[in-house]
Structure 1
């Protein structure tokens, strides 16, 4: 459901002055469609289910009203930072699927809260780093907690935090959490939450699992669907090429366009290193981002890529969500994602917040059928193009029997009665 008349400015949304002042400093000119439609309902403490693609401004959509609720609901002494609530409390809980997204959301919230002068505490917890350090950061509780489900359950079992005072629950990228096998963890966490709370659910796609979760969690929710922040700013192109010429075409594109930042997606950790080596032989230095890197190394690589110290980054799908790089010019699918929804999340790393972006996919004969499925599921149709000197043959000379590479974390053979996926172990390996 959407409104026919939506606020044109942030001042029209009903936000308080500390948030408006920060919005001016961040040079946000006007609300995105999802912000304009959703923020008034969230401020009214309505439950919400929102379909919003990456880059649509959804973090601010839930972060700004959450900060306002916590500030306005707190005693005056707390607002002045004189007295803090005691105990291991949480007021606002945000559940996310990946470490990178947890850190990014928490950093955004802290940025929006600058003019509250430390009156609102925000903590992010996730796997891959010391539990003891996170327990110390939670001492005395926190106003806002951004967490991956597995690590949060670990902290709860250690009595580092309790959820019985949560007033707002936010599930960010719910479709991704369920696809990663967080179902059992979510069920366990939901059982620990109070029944009376505001619940906000954001999801790019709405598979049956998400619909079921919505029915169980939300009370008479407002429903909003926004396809993208500005779909015209992201140009999608697809190039056909023989399999043996893919790397040569990739190198040709990078050198010809002289891109200063390019994010390349592949489907496996080993493919990252292999492609980086092949590009190196062609005079292109590339770094890699995948699950074999420790959390500190992953953080360093992302920061270097964001600041332009790294021109070319080759990544698995752990970079498809939670990676926010301002004005990233181009994303390339060297391997197609297995999931059509992951295609949209990958290309959404570029063309964010109205910036112009490019999304290229390099497909060989093995990819043709799968790309048609991606187009059908995402309701798009792209012209097949060729680059002179790298044209694909009209037919493949031999039958293609080799399956697509499996994405990270799914290397084991399927077996009957397979137990539920342990999400923390999955994330550690991705």
Structure 2
């Protein structure tokens, strides 16, 4: 990939962004995407996958032709994030991107589609609804992108995707992207043949310095541990739960203690979810409580902490949650609360992912990498503070 291959408006946006060179996944897929090949792109979280498909696709968009590219995402939040990125890189072209997500006013989306946006980004349910209503001319779609495809091929989403594919031209280009797409290659092969697999996971060095720790506790004390973390001057992070009910209970208790937290849940309205993300990005809240809903694609710049209130249920879940920190070379800390019953589960996940995970301790408003001496004793050596654990 050579940025000199860009059309003028994209070249200008590249220079304005101050980019020196493309990320590995971006360089690796630019030519095959430009040539119209069907491919699976696999790269670590935070390695630049969104631009990996957007740059070559925007580069060959034709102004005035509606619905040339359709990007399908696994969540409303990821769809809106892709729209923001696309809008930035379309600047100066006169071309448009349109979000098509559930929870938003469908009549407004009908009106927006009349303006013939060249690029569409949406969630499968709403997109299929608009295709069925003939508001989107599916045969006109030249390229379909499936972002976080490992989520999209699960459950009802997979059925929706198959229905969308049946409405499009068989010759339309199909691109599949994820950090863990390799785990769904068998499923993809049931609907595709002759897929080019571009996997840069082992060669990619964009992951920053991320430290992985665990705090031993019990279920009753988890909220107290969260409260102590939130009172640390350096803390600003996402706190993940396995169950919505546990998240709601924790949020209620933390708000009772007047701590600045917000929640992001699948049963909330689009407005509430959008407000929670905006407040968090602006540091108006220091803890964003959520489930795996927010572990996919949500890019919070320079986020220092991810906390797993529960041990994730799979390696993929841990990988995507942890991927909210250490993006594009940043540093970060991942802390998992473990009880005696589930400590072995975390160690098993860490072993499979080849991640070094160590105990860490909350004491005196600080995180310590050695168990603190709780009684004053001048003969005992003081605990060392964790390196790189706090933002300056």
Q: TM-score, normalised by structure 1?
A: 0.78
Is the CA contact (8 Å cut-off) linking 2:30 and 2:52 kept in structure 1?
A: yes
CA distance in 1, matches of 2:173, 2:188: 15
Is the CA contact (8 Å cut-off) linking 2:150 and 2:183 kept in structure 1?
A: no
Is the CA contact (8 Å cut-off) linking 1:199 and 1:218 kept in structure 2?
A: no
1:349 corresponds to which residue?
A: 324
1:105 corresponds to which residue?
A: 82
Cα 1:185–1:210 shift into 2, 3 Å: farther
CA distance in 2, matches of 1:67, 1:37: 17
- The CA deviation at 1:326 is 0.8
- Of the three residues 202, 210, 215, the one matched with 1:234 is 210
Task: Write the mapping of 1:4-153 to structure 2, written as runs, cut at 5 A.
Answer: 11=3, 14-70=5-61, 74=62, 78=63, 84-85=64-65, 89-116=66-93, 118=94, 120-153=95-128
SS of 1:170's equivalent in the other structure is: strand
1:270 corresponds to which residue?
A: 245
2:191 corresponds to which residue?
A: 216
Cα 1:357–1:29 shift into 2, 3 Å: farther
2:373 corresponds to which residue?
A: none
- The CA deviation at 1:291 is 2.3
2:219 corresponds to which residue?
A: 243
Q: TM-score, normalised by structure 2?
A: 0.85
Query: What number of residue pairs does the alignment pair up?
Result: 365
CA distance in 2, matches of 1:29, 1:37: 16
- The CA deviation at 1:224 is 2.5
Is the CA contact (8 Å cut-off) linking 1:229 and 1:352 kept in structure 2?
A: no
Is the CA contact (8 Å cut-off) linking 2:40 and 2:181 kept in structure 1?
A: no
2:260 corresponds to which residue?
A: 285
Return 5+ residue gaps in structure 2 as ranges: 369-392
SS of 2:139's equivalent in the other structure is: coil
Is the CA contact (8 Å cut-off) linking 2:237 and 2:288 kept in structure 1?
A: yes
2:346 is the alignment partner of 1:364: no
2:388 corresponds to which residue?
A: none
Is the CA contact (8 Å cut-off) linking 1:341 and 1:378 kept in structure 2?
A: no
CA distance in 1, matches of 2:326, 2:256: 30
Is the CA contact (8 Å cut-off) linking 1:199 and 1:217 kept in structure 2?
A: no
Is the CA contact (8 Å cut-off) linking 1:126 and 1:152 kept in structure 2?
A: yes
Is the CA contact (8 Å cut-off) linking 2:146 and 2:175 kept in structure 1?
A: yes
- Deviations 1:301-359 (Å, cap 9, x if unpaired)? 11111112212211122111132111111111111222320111111111111111211
- The CA deviation at 1:276 is 2.1
- The CA deviation at 1:240 is 2.0
Task: Write the mapping of 1:407-422 to structure 2, written as runs, cut at 5 A.
Answer: none
Is the CA contact (8 Å cut-off) linking 2:73 and 2:147 kept in structure 1?
A: yes
1:316 corresponds to which residue?
A: 291
CA distance in 2, matches of 1:322, 1:220: 23
- The CA deviation at 1:220 is 4.8
Cα 1:210–1:334 shift into 2, 3 Å: same
Is the CA contact (8 Å cut-off) linking 1:57 and 1:229 kept in structure 2?
A: no
RMSD: 2.4
Return 5+ residue gaps in structure 1 as ranges: 1-6, 79-83, 392-430
Is the CA contact (8 Å cut-off) linking 1:269 and 1:292 kept in structure 2?
A: no
Structure 1, 213-222 or 347-356: larger mean CA deviation: 213-222
